[in-house]
Structure 1
Amino acid sequence: MTTKNDIEKTLWSACDTFRGKIDSSRYKDYILSMLFVKYLSDVTKEKYAAYQTQYNGDAVRIERAMNRERFFVDKESTFDYLYNERNNNQIGQMINVALSHIEERNSAKLRNVFRAIDFNSQVDFGNQKEKNAILKNLLEDFSVLDLRPSQLSSADIIGDAYEYMIANFASDAGKKGGEFFTPSQVSHLLALLVQPKENDRIYDPTCGSGGLLLKAYKEVPDGKCAVYGQEANAQTWALCTMNMFLHGVDDAKIYQGDTLSNPQTLENDCLMKFQVGVANPPFSLDKWDSGFLSNTEKDNEKKKEKMTASMDSYGRFGWGVPPSSKGDYAFVLHMLHSLDDNSGRMGIVLPHGVLFRGASEGKIRKEIIEFNLLDAVIGLPANLFYGTGIPACILIFKKNRTRDDVLFIDASGEGHFEKGKNQNILRDEDISKIVDTYNKREAVEKYSAVVSRDLIRENDYNLNIPRYVDTFEEEEPIDIKEVQKNIASIECELSQVQKEMAGYLKELGL
């Protein structure tokens, strides 16, 4: 049987094929795409063999049966075919053609999933000799894997291994890793806080490789929910689409494009409404409004045009337009306008600056609080995320709230996380404490507070957590007499040592 360790071992071997030749932020796309092709090929091979037996080799009936499967890979696009051609001088182009055929044959689910991948790239692989050597090694790395369903020790191991490698690539990629991956503990926490239910629509407007969406999806036991996402980066969009497919979420709607200037989750030319929203958008995204602007200078003023609320045809910025250099509230406003008016709830990961920055952000924050949409503010430990060591927070919003308070939780302190070598980690007990406190909505000394909106108004809508949760630890009182006694004792010992040292120096004639 093929185990998760077998798959991970093969993936790391494939990484060794690329290390020192291509940056990990690039070669992850080739390795994960090849894993995907190997899986599709092996499943198709096993299904075809079963139907051959069942229909006694009747080609027409076999073809009809295969067309009813989740997907199909023709012979010239299978991994085995490519492996047998691994010494071909045109192997890069042959892989590209195979990927194109897979897309065409399964266009309803895999359209354009490989469009950002070029196995014939001279930029990534260098000259033909170097490229062919790398691709031959890559095919040989994966040839040892048997990913037929009957040989897998668990139905989930392909998807789990895929996510495991995405996480490792994110760690290796440093700052760039944060662009496509949210640490699984944070994703799990966010999913528990928004509590997805059967028949909900779940939405992530900056879905990256899809980890947050999958964690939310898994909170619905029977999987009876609809999954939607949008991702600006074409390569990351492809990772997300493959990730969904490998986890069996075939009907997920994952769109590619700028969510703010070109949202694609629409119904009747309006923003689609969702019961659940989750997101970890890029922190303080600079020039988030570029998709709205003409980027031309006004002839009379010679100044770049500024974003205005009227430029957005979906009316998301009536409460204020966030500064061009910080897109945090642009994503908040987009998600709030995408929530179902009756049962919509959302959790979003943001930098702490959104809690207290002024100007247009302060005005937006005021409107959000006055419309009673903010449900909780949760401070997280520093250094949880790839590419940034700054502490972040989770804001929970709800439509149709009847409460008149906001829960503040400070989970950033010592004892609420595990210190890691490169990154800090939220443990299961840390996640449980946050979720329990949120569900019970209780005040816990030095950890949480339930704060009235009147008090928030008095604080000029500043949401900085230390204003409401006092985590100050008093130091034990100092006994001055005891300190003086210790100092006197130390001085006495020092005097004795100095006398002994002087004697030794005298004996040495120094």
Structure 2
Amino acid sequence: MTEIENSKDLISVLWSGADILRSKMDANEYKDYLLGIVFYKYLSDSFLIKVYDLLYDEKPSTLKDAVEAYKEALNDEESSEELKKQLAEECHYVMEPELTYTHFAEEARNNSFNREQLQKGFNNIEQSDPIFADLFADIDLYSNRLGTGDQKQSDTVASLIKEIDKADLLNSDAEILGNAYEYLIGQFASETGKKAGEFYTPQAVSKILTRIAISGQEDKIGLSVYDPCMGSGSLLLNAKKYADKPKYIKYYGQELNTSTYNLARMNMFLHGIAAENQKLRNGDTLDGDWPTGEETDFDMVLMNPPYSAKWSAAAGFLQDERFSDYGVLAPKSKADYAFLLHGLYHLKSSGTMAIVLPHGVLFRGAAEGKIREKLLRSGNIYAVIGLPANLFYNTSIPTCIIVLKKHRDGRDVLFIDASKKFNKGKKQNEMTDAHIDEVLALYSKRETVEGEAVLASFDEIEKNDFNLNIPRYVDNFEKEEEIDLDALLKDMEKTDDELKQVHGEFVSLLKELTSSDEAIMSSLNELIGRMER
């Protein structure tokens, strides 16, 4: 079976699990159940494969074989302690045989499934290592949403376990599973609409941001990437697709929403990211700076923050190192520049930052205008890329990507208008890989291309009062063809002649009509008279 077929099969099984829950709750709720239980299966299957490998130095034929081998090994008290110690070191958790997913699936098929045991399994994982703390907190196995009464609720969970057990993780590598998980997250984003903004950046936008930020750093060993508004972690994880040595990437991310933070942690593990290479935090990016005590600046900063969000803008932030150089703060009603400055503060001198924001940041005045001017005078703004409207699930407004550098020679800014590079979709517009390549080519070329890109000098930007509105620089107005008035008049005369001819023919046909009913004939003659006037 090919990797694509395997991936499609996996997606099909996982998505059919959603069907079990779809009639009971909305997508924003059932995504937590589905993705959480898929993740528990991943932890369980990975654990059993590791057990078998440690015992026999090979992969098991089936997970059931692995469970049996594990039970047998635990009977030997002396060697079992050594085995558990080794498993705890390598997996960061230890599962008892009766708490493995394989065991739960067997019980579900025999109608003897006990959800208290699954809850115990969740608790054991959460308590085994800080990286798993509260990971399954959003899964309420006793919720009325699952059905009325204990039996129906338990049956729903058992049905979900049986369905997801069809997913063959034993013969799927991390990339296939990770991609299937990403697909599910994308499908949930489509179903949840506005709420999707909390956890999902469309793949096309993620690709552009990542390819821009990683450009020139692809071969760096130990590449560090930071997303202070990471959502489900999809944007962070894009880095491994374009890095030459993905195994050594260090991921740093912060997320305010706890449910979404848990989703990001699961997503990291499902993509095979080692625990020591991921530092994720549940917290408010603007209210408290992070990271502070470890590595604090990064090769790549990627951001898709909530647009025009409210924040405190308290006077104390003027002393905060992230904002103190600018003399003013982003307004309370629009935190866009607060997010941008936070990201820039954590960027390495040699790194690149790419952030998605609404177009207002390019031209709004007052405090935002002052911050923008300071950034431009410092040469921090490297490029501005206008994206098509209606790309995101949670907003139809057009957005832009701002590319920033910490220190560089020159203060010119590349403007790219990519607003027309899309295919119209049913719900959202879509940028294809061809569109993305076109944008990247313009970015790499870094020169003026008529109707598409302009490399503007600092003097030109200063003359425009530091307004970065893209149409001021890139003229993509398509001139309409000139109309030949003589030809138009001839066409109109010809049409008039044709209408007169048809009119005459119609009147002649009416005159040929007869009826013995005097009233009908009277009405007919009146109509003919009117048409001949």
- TM-score of the two chains, using structure 2 as the length reference: 0.85
User: C-alpha displacement at 1:381, in angstroms?
Assistant: 1.0
Contact 1:206 1:230 survives alignment (8 Å): yes
How many residues matched?
484
> Partners in 2 of 1:59 and 1:332 — Cα distance?
52
Q: Which runs of 5+ in 1 are unaligned?
A: 290-305
User: C-alpha displacement at 1:316, in angstroms?
Assistant: 1.8
Alignment of 1:436 with 2:457, yes or no, is no
Contact 1:381 1:391 survives alignment (8 Å): yes
Kindly provide the amino acid, as one letter, of the partner of residue 22 in structure 1.
M
> Partners in 2 of 1:122 and 1:385 — Cα distance?
32
Counterpart mapping for 1:317-396 below 5 A: 318-319=325-326, 320-340=328-348, 342-396=349-403
Kindly provide the amino acid, as one letter, of the partner of residue 499 in structure 2.
L
Q: Match for residue 76 of structure 2?
A: none
Q: Match for residue 502 of structure 1?
A: 507
Which stretch of structure 1 is more off in the superposition, 417-426 or 17-26? Answer: 417-426
User: C-alpha displacement at 1:448, in angstroms?
Assistant: 0.2
Alignment of 1:40 with 2:43, yes or no, is yes
Identity fraction in percent? 41
Relative distance call for 1:121 and 1:266 in structure 2 (3 A) is farther
Which stretch of structure 1 is more off in the superposition, 360-369 or 218-227? Answer: 218-227
> Partners in 1 of 2:302 and 2:317 — Cα distance?
27
Kindly provide the amino acid, as one letter, of the partner of residue 178 in structure 1.
G
> Partners in 2 of 1:168 and 1:371 — Cα distance?
42
Match of 1:418 among 413, 417, 423: 423
Relative distance call for 1:49 and 1:198 in structure 2 (3 A) is closer
Which stretch of structure 1 is more off in the superposition, 183-192 or 463-472? Answer: 183-192
Kindly provide the amino acid, as one letter, of the partner of residue 222 in structure 1.
K
- TM-score of the two chains, using structure 1 as the length reference: 0.89
User: C-alpha displacement at 1:36, in angstroms?
Assistant: 1.0
Q: Which runs of 5+ in 2 are unaligned?
A: 58-68, 74-78, 514-520, 525-533
Contact 2:174 2:271 survives alignment (8 Å): no
Relative distance call for 1:288 and 1:130 in structure 2 (3 A) is farther
Larger helix proportion of the pair: 2
Match of 2:119 among 96, 106, 120: 96
Alignment of 1:66 with 2:87, yes or no, is yes
Relative distance call for 1:91 and 1:356 in structure 2 (3 A) is farther
User: C-alpha displacement at 1:215, in angstroms?
Assistant: 0.7
Relative distance call for 1:76 and 1:264 in structure 2 (3 A) is farther
Alignment of 1:199 with 2:222, yes or no, is yes
Say which SS state the counterpart of residue 238 (structure 2) adopts.
helix
Relative distance call for 1:90 and 1:35 in structure 2 (3 A) is closer
Contact 1:382 1:391 survives alignment (8 Å): yes
User: C-alpha displacement at 1:374, in angstroms?
Assistant: 0.3
Q: Match for residue 301 of structure 1?
A: none
Match of 1:472 among 474, 477, 482: 477
Contact 1:96 1:118 survives alignment (8 Å): no
Q: Match for residue 299 of structure 1?
A: none
Q: Match for residue 294 of structure 1?
A: none
Q: Which structure's CA Rg is the greater one?
A: 2
Relative distance call for 1:96 and 1:406 in structure 2 (3 A) is same
Contact 2:391 2:429 survives alignment (8 Å): yes
Say which SS state the counterpart of residue 145 (structure 1) adopts.
coil
Q: Match for residue 281 of structure 2?
A: 255
Which stretch of structure 1 is more off in the superposition, 124-133 or 487-496? Answer: 124-133
User: C-alpha displacement at 1:83, in angstroms?
Assistant: 2.7
User: C-alpha displacement at 1:249, in angstroms?
Assistant: 1.5
Which stretch of structure 1 is more off in the superposition, 428-437 or 310-319? Answer: 310-319
> Partners in 2 of 1:372 and 1:276 — Cα distance?
18
Provide the aligned C-alpha RMSD in A: 2.3
Relative distance call for 1:396 and 1:480 in structure 2 (3 A) is same
Alignment of 1:133 with 2:159, yes or no, is no
Contact 1:280 1:349 survives alignment (8 Å): yes
Relative distance call for 1:498 and 1:128 in structure 2 (3 A) is farther
User: C-alpha displacement at 1:4, in angstroms?
Assistant: 1.3
Relative distance call for 1:125 and 1:338 in structure 2 (3 A) is farther
User: C-alpha displacement at 1:404, in angstroms?
Assistant: 2.4
Q: Match for residue 239 of structure 2?
A: 216
